[in-house]
Amino acid sequence: MESIDLFSNARSAARLLCAAWRDGQHLAALPPECRPRSRAEGYAVQAAWAAERGQPVAGWKIAATSTAGQQHIGVSGPLAGPVFADRVFADGAEMSLASNRMRVAECEIVLRFGRTLAPRTQPYGRAEVVAAVASVHPGIELPDSRFLQFEQAGEAQLIADSACTNEMLIGAAVPVDARVEALAQLAVQAEVSDGRRPTGVGANVLGDPVEALVWLVNEVTASGHALAAGQFVTTGACVPPIPVSPGDEVRADFGWLGRMSVRLR
């Protein structure tokens, strides 16, 4: 197979993945003629999703932010992916797990931009990325993959799958202040209605959610996309992914960042 062309094979792959998502179906793999073979080809497929779905990108997500998570799905490092506007919900929403095969909830720190970071040749540094952030939020992600066995799909196909993008709940905004530099120490206490009480800390996200944010900014802008004012970045699971079932309610206490919950049906 020759390298994927953004306007043909990549669009075909995106069309198949988006149709599977729309219909609640899952694929064994993309057909060989449009299957990406590298991170760059995976991002080419991912870039075609917005046109296929007819939905704007509301924000961005990072998958596989821990070494254990990367080993579990067989990737060499974290993955970036878009979050679409029609899949963003408010605190307390009731969400369906009917077509979700992953069935996990992830407690995440979300940062929203107040100004645009455009693609450029020089990487962005921590200080200028933080200066572009307007607010911080608690978040709960309900990821999913379009592949039947996402653990075996491989890095390129998982990037093409928009890094397991699915549904995102975002809590109330907290204006940025000096505490953003201490997000690595932020303790997060989750509680499931069946009595489980998993815990985590911001440092579980690439060592520091702000460093994860900087990584994503440079990963996305290197692919030719801007991080637009108003878009958010959800930085990865502070608490290890929580297995969930219909009927569960997940509540999460993010300390000074606030609390939020999701009900599952």
Question: 49 CB contacts (<8 Å, ≥6 apart)?
Answer: 14, 17, 18, 82, 84, 162
Q: Is the pLDDT of residue 57 over 50?
A: yes
**Dist CA 184 CA 207 (whole Å):** 7
Q: Write the DSSP symbol of residue 28.
A: S
Residue 6, pLDDT score:
53
pTM exceeds 0.85, yes or no: yes
Residue range 3-20: average pLDDT? 81
DSSP 3-state assignment of 174? strand
Domains of the chain: 55-264 (3.90.850.10)
Residue 71 tokens read as 């080993």
Determine the straight-line distance between the first and last CA of the chain, rounded to whole angstroms. Answer: 42
- Please give the order of strands across the beta sheet that includes 199-201: 94-95, 259-264, 249-253, 187-192, 199-201
Q: Is the pLDDT of residue 37 over 60?
A: yes
Residue 16's pLDDT band, with cuts at 50, 70 and 90, is very high
Length of the chain: 265
The string of pLDDT tens digits covering residues 65-86 is 777 777 777 787 899 999 999 9
Q: Is the pLDDT of residue 129 over 90?
A: yes
Q: Percent of the chain at pLDDT above 70?
A: 97
Q: Phi and psi (nearest 5°) for 26?
A: -135, 145
Residue 76, pLDDT score:
77
CB 117 within 8 A of CB 217: yes
* Mean pLDDT over each residue of the chain, to the nearest integer: 93
